[in-house]
Structure 1
Amino acid sequence: MSCTSVSSAIVHLNAAIAAANPFERATRVTEREIWWATPPNLEGLNPEAIAAVLDAVERARKRIEPLSSLAILGETGTGKTHAIACVRQQLQRDRRGLLVYVNAGQFSDVNLIRYQFLQTVVDSFRHPGSANFMQWQDLATAIALEAFQSIYPERDRFSVDSLVNKLNRQTLSKNQTWIAQLSEAFFKIRPTLGDPDLVRALLWTLCHAQAPYAIKWLAGQVLASAKAEELGLPNRSRDYRDAQGWEIVLEIFSLATQFYPVVIAFDQLDSPENSDTGLKRERVVASLVKRIWETLPIARLNYGVVLAIAATPQTWYEKIQSLPSGIVAYLSKSVAPIRLQAIDVRGMRELVGLFLQQFYDRCHLIPPRSLYPFDSDQLDALAREELNVRELLEWCAENFRPVEVDPWEAVQIALDRAKQTVEERQLHADRRSLVAALQLALQMLLDRSIAGVTLEAVESMEARDLHDRRYVPLRAIVRTDAGSHAIGLAIVPRLNASELRATFARLLDRDRLGLDGACLLAPQIPAHWQCRQGLARFIRGDRCSYIPLDRDALTPLLALWWLHRERQQWQLGDREIVEFVRQHQFLAENPTISAILSTAIAPLPQAVEGDGDRPYFPPDRRSNPTGNDRNLLKIDESNDSP
């Protein structure tokens, strides 16, 4: 959120907060969210663990370490699964590798562990890789590209989407021929790789109509005879199950690592034991990791495999460490177990802020502060209680509710939005808007004494001649120690010589207009313009002042007028706005308003001489004496003559 953004109305923010809770489902990262959700990009949450896995991927990519394993240890709720989700996101975004996610709770039969592991591998590769295509399709495209270029080396490379679109426009017979040619060409390039049928099944995943059957075959399941023949695949035996399942796993990994590193993440080792089967999850995972180390043909791995095991310290030290030492060594061969650190107050603020930012972005709203409706003090208190990530998010879910509306805050937010509208509509250059803004501002100061001046009335010059009220539209009746005075207000938004001359003609004829003094609000007049003579004559008059139009001083006045005009939209009343103005000294401290009121007590100025004349300012209301005019309204000399 930009620091210059204008906050949304409190009523709109509270309506969104009442309608949805972004923390409700955030307390646990589910398996579905690993594949389909975008985890908060939180640099301060478990960076060491994420970096360790990605570093192992890079070593595998560079063929430094073709097979590695590491353990990630953290208490329940510290973000172990979130770390895996972040690894998947980076692999997907940067096309750095493929991910297999293994939920240790899915194993239900000691006699089918290898077969069930195959189902996990196949299901993981069914999830998105790059550009939201299946990881199977990423792998199939890499195979097709290598084979295609061996046949047609002069042809351009193609992407996953272009290949998928091409195959889905072709007839079945043409695709059968094309896939047979590519399979044959691929094995001419890589004759040492295993099963040609595996390559053929992978290529069929690129066709929408055939992909479900190809994936079913890859999972070791039986196809209808006609469908198997259509795809050119030998049918499976119903009784092979666990025996042949591991062979398919090894073939898939050997083939996949020709093109990508593969990360196999084991999670949920700490869930309740399965009382029906008696399976110990940590033992199942340990046996799978050991078998991968012992049977995966490392010499054939081009980019390598990374094994990441996430567990609680209790499971690691009390259960896994009690296994035979030969098994334990396989689970963290590359580095010592990585301990996840408790989240600190800075991390809490960042995490909660990210969830809220995503929520407000979806709702197209801008909060008044990044943690709204929470505040920093609340998170500081939670940090002292040493809450973990899950406990923090549970607290946020329970306490995410609309806050009591502060009327001043509501007005301030609406006023900030009005300032943005003033800038967008360029109201500084609009005479009617300026007149209306000044009239409203002065009316809000009626009967108030400011610097010895009390404003008694603000009158529109409607009763005057049309030409007179165009140039002197307002009259303020003010009272000082010397009595009451009528001060006329003339406004020239842009420099225009003819308008200035006409304005000076009225200001120099104040008696006819029933004025005791006058203020001219206009941009600075160049010294070489002839109408400066009118300015010199004007400011010699009693209670007469020239006030340069200052953008910074006018913006809040215009914003106040715009807010008052649109107050129903913001569900604000007159009384709230007026009280806000009084409580915050909003107008009393405005330089333009102060200069107008000071005109009534200004002493007689000295005579002004020649082109070196300076505009007259009431005492202590002078603009920057350095002559820095960056805040003055832009001079428009089009169609003007000096």
Structure 2
Amino acid sequence: MTTSPIDDIQAAIKKENPFASLAIVREQDIWDGNFPDLESFNAHASNAVFEAINRVRKATSGHNKITSMVITAQKGVGKSHIISRIRRRCKLDGTALFIYAGVETYSLHFINREFQQTLAESLDRIGSQNVTQWQELATFMVNKVLKTSNSEAKTNSAQKLVATLNDSTQTTEKIYRWVGIMTSKFSRLTRSKRIDVDLVRAIFWTLSEEQTPYALKWLSGNDLSPKKAEELELPKSSILGRDSESKAFENISQILSLVSDYQAVTICFDELDTVDIRRSKVGLTRTHVVAQLIKSLVDSINLSSESNGIVILTVMMPDTWKWKIKQMPGGVADRVSAANESIQLQFIDDDSIVELVKLWLQPFYQQRNLNPPTEVYPFEENQLRKLGSESSVRRVLQWCRERWYDDNVTSPPVENAYNKELELLKKTRTIWIEEEDKIANALCLGFHTLSGKTVNEFQIERLEKKVEPNKDNKKYIKFKVIGKHKGKTIKLGILVLQKTNSNSVMAGLSRLVAYKKFDLNRGCFVRSRTVSETASKAQENLTKLLSPQYGGIYADFKPEDIEPLLAVWLVYKGRDDYDLKDKDIIDFVDRKKLAIDNILIHKILSEPTGKIPEGLSDD
């Protein structure tokens, strides 16, 4: 193959750096799998997971149908790359349905409810049949009903069934009647398993494009409006009752039992090493709470001999495994890892370094129809090998980024990282829009960069991130902005609340109007949707907040209003991974005016009007 003119190659190299954003893997990357993966590197770990999937599928005893394992590695070695490889393989050939639980943002007080939501959202991802994993499961359930009624019956493919039910010729009445019949028949077939009939009905509703958002909302544990609940013949919530945590765990167990009847399940727990600001009610760290959840799953889920099995994979740092998990009493360690040991990822060796760089450069040259002098150009193979056998993947790619072109004219590293995070956020709006802590953290960072500045005649003096009394606040009011508005000192409490559960909305608003208790004289309710009209206590507190006496604000937002700040916060949070300095990130925010011109920040600091915004999405 003829080498392209060196001037053309150099021009391409000057224009763009393919290593600019490094190999920082976010949750969306894990699902998409659209980054180079050297599959031979640490293949022993991913192969062990695939072998475990095959083993539980073939096990003849229900007791052996669930297993667990642990992968450990130092930071940057490639834990997330392994997870993404497993997801990609599961999707490609239908090896297993895949559940990803990044526990970094989990509330430790409601671990079961958090995991139920994770389960529902993961199963809403596209599977091996180009429909969602929920729809694959629902199709299996339909086919089971058909085959039981008539062994000669022709079964449906998931794609065909979804297309048929959503054909424009289908009437609403016909679909409702069909869901009711299927729910009744499947429930009779599985009576011995005591699967909740409402759970069955909700899963069938995922086949309807019109009703999928509401079915998913219900399966996640969120409330439906009374009207929609009546329409779908479902209770208002899947976790109704005095003990929502117990109900959530019951839902989890039943969902996993149903899913494993259809296909093997791989559950991956990640981000256990996150530093905890707060602990659970009984003083446990995130690592301990998640480990207890895994133990409960292993001990409590009953699978039949016909089940395809469940593999629970947990990834963590070596010290987390050695000094936290293994020290827990009550047999926790051998539930988290059935072998009571971890599979260790290795640092990249010199041969793999060369192959990794080739893999990253291949699409760069192919997309430009260029043939470089060597597959690792502009680097030399002996240069790469000298990086040594103790390098991490991230360190190798960082080395390449820094030496790509001495006088390169590519975008600054902060901007590259920002653009990457922003693009991922745009793809995952339906997920992060529910993550209140992320939104609050993004706002907090934005306000931090505005200290000493004036927005809407509001002079921002400082932030108070800890709202006292902490035991009464319970993390509802996220932070306070202290400043002056038209000469008056303002102590502004910020409540970011996206939950649809009426009790949660009532609890949050009751704290926001408790000005004296939390030392406030103004409150801001940040929310993208309405408050249910049937939530009388919440409505009462909202009316109080917006009254002239309280002078509060209802600041609504669209995803695009908060996305720039959220992208910056993700860059800031991952600044060590991106190899960025705090000052560079803050300077970027100032230069791009991401905070001072932000629509939501302007609404928060606006003159109180006492009005509820128009055009809000329904609760």
Name the TM-score, length of structure 1 as normaliser: 0.59
Q: What number of residue pairs does the alignment pair up?
A: 398
Change (3 A) 1:164 1:361: farther
**Residue type of the partner of 1:244?**
K
Provide structure 2 residue ranges, at least 5 long, that are not aligned to the other structure.
Answer: 409-619
Q: Report what 1:183 is aligned to.
A: 183
Deviations, residues 414-470 of structure 1 (Å, cap 9, x unaligned):
xxxxxxxxxxxxxxxxxxxxxxxxxxxxxxxxxxxxxxxxxxxxxxxxxxxxxxxxx
Distance 1:166 1:261 in 2: 27
Q: Secondary structure at the match of 2:38?
A: coil
User: Does the alignment pair 1:174 with 2:174?
Assistant: yes
CA contact (8 A) 2:100 2:122 kept: yes
Q: Secondary structure at the match of 1:100?
A: strand
Change (3 A) 1:191 1:365: farther
Deviations, residues 454-513 of structure 1 (Å, cap 9, x unaligned):
xxxxxxxxxxxxxxxxxxxxxxxxxxxxxxxxxxxxxxxxxxxxxxxxxxxxxxxxxxxx
Distance 1:306 1:145 in 2: 25
Distance 1:38 1:340 in 2: 22
**Residue type of the partner of 1:351?**
L
Distance 2:16 2:232 in 1: 48
Distance 2:157 2:404 in 1: 44
Q: Report what 2:246 is aligned to.
A: 243
| Structural mapping, 1:376-391, within 5 Å | 376-383=381-388, 386-391=390-395
CA contact (8 A) 1:66 1:301 kept: no
CA contact (8 A) 1:250 1:296 kept: yes
Q: Report what 2:212 is aligned to.
A: 211
User: Does the alignment pair 1:100 with 2:99?
Assistant: yes
| Structural mapping, 1:37-116, within 5 Å | 37-64=33-60, 65-108=64-107, 110-116=108-114
Match of 2:121 among 123, 131, 150: 123
Match of 1:255 among 249, 253, 258: 258
Change (3 A) 1:188 1:89: same
Distance 1:363 1:249 in 2: 48
* Higher Cα radius of gyration: 1
CA contact (8 A) 1:353 1:370 kept: yes
Q: Residue 94 of structure 1: CA displacement?
A: 0.8
**Residue type of the partner of 1:112?**
F
**Residue type of the partner of 1:33?**
D
CA contact (8 A) 1:187 1:196 kept: yes
CA contact (8 A) 2:147 2:153 kept: yes
Distance 1:141 1:7 in 2: 52
Match of 1:324 among 329, 348, 351: 329
Q: Residue 106 of structure 1: CA displacement?
A: 1.8
User: Does the alignment pair 1:28 with 2:24?
Assistant: yes
Q: Residue 41 of structure 1: CA displacement?
A: 4.1
Q: Residue 376 of structure 1: CA displacement?
A: 0.3
Distance 2:51 2:175 in 1: 40
| Structural mapping, 1:270-419, within 5 Å | 270-275=273-278, 280-299=285-304, 302-324=307-329, 326-334=331-339, 336-383=341-388, 386-401=390-405
Match of 2:160 among 159, 162, 185: 162
Q: Secondary structure at the match of 1:72?
A: strand
Distance 2:146 2:191 in 1: 16
Distance 2:249 2:17 in 1: 44
Q: Residue 318 of structure 1: CA displacement?
A: 1.8
CA contact (8 A) 2:166 2:209 kept: yes
**Residue type of the partner of 2:66?**
L
Distance 1:396 1:276 in 2: 40
Change (3 A) 1:60 1:19: farther
CA contact (8 A) 2:57 2:309 kept: yes
**Residue type of the partner of 1:355?**
W
Provide structure 1 residue ranges, at least 5 long, that are not aligned to the other structure.
Answer: 405-642
Q: Residue 294 of structure 1: CA displacement?
A: 1.9
User: % of aligned pairs identical?
Assistant: 36
Say which is worse superposed, 85-94 or 134-143, in terms of deviation.
134-143
Change (3 A) 1:281 1:177: same
Distance 1:229 1:7 in 2: 68
Distance 2:27 2:184 in 1: 37
Distance 2:33 2:21 in 1: 11
Say which is worse superposed, 84-93 or 336-345, in terms of deviation.
336-345
Q: Residue 197 of structure 1: CA displacement?
A: 1.8
CA contact (8 A) 2:33 2:88 kept: no
Distance 1:389 1:353 in 2: 13
Distance 2:164 2:369 in 1: 39
Change (3 A) 1:327 1:375: same
CA contact (8 A) 2:70 2:313 kept: yes
Deviations, residues 31-82 of structure 1 (Å, cap 9, x unaligned):
1100013353423211111011111100121135301111111111111111
Distance 2:33 2:220 in 1: 25
CA contact (8 A) 2:100 2:269 kept: yes
Deviations, residues 236-273 of structure 1 (Å, cap 9, x unaligned):
23865323111111111011010111111111122322
Change (3 A) 1:168 1:75: same
Name the TM-score, length of structure 2 as normaliser: 0.61
**Residue type of the partner of 1:51?**
N
CA contact (8 A) 2:130 2:159 kept: no
Distance 2:399 2:322 in 1: 30
Q: Secondary structure at the match of 2:266?
A: strand
Distance 2:80 2:4 in 1: 35
Deviations, residues 84-108 of structure 1 (Å, cap 9, x unaligned):
1111111111111111111121222
Name the Cα RMSD after superposition.
2.3
**Residue type of the partner of 2:99?**
V
Change (3 A) 1:119 1:387: same
CA contact (8 A) 1:39 1:85 kept: no
CA contact (8 A) 2:241 2:247 kept: no
| Structural mapping, 1:423-442, within 5 Å | none
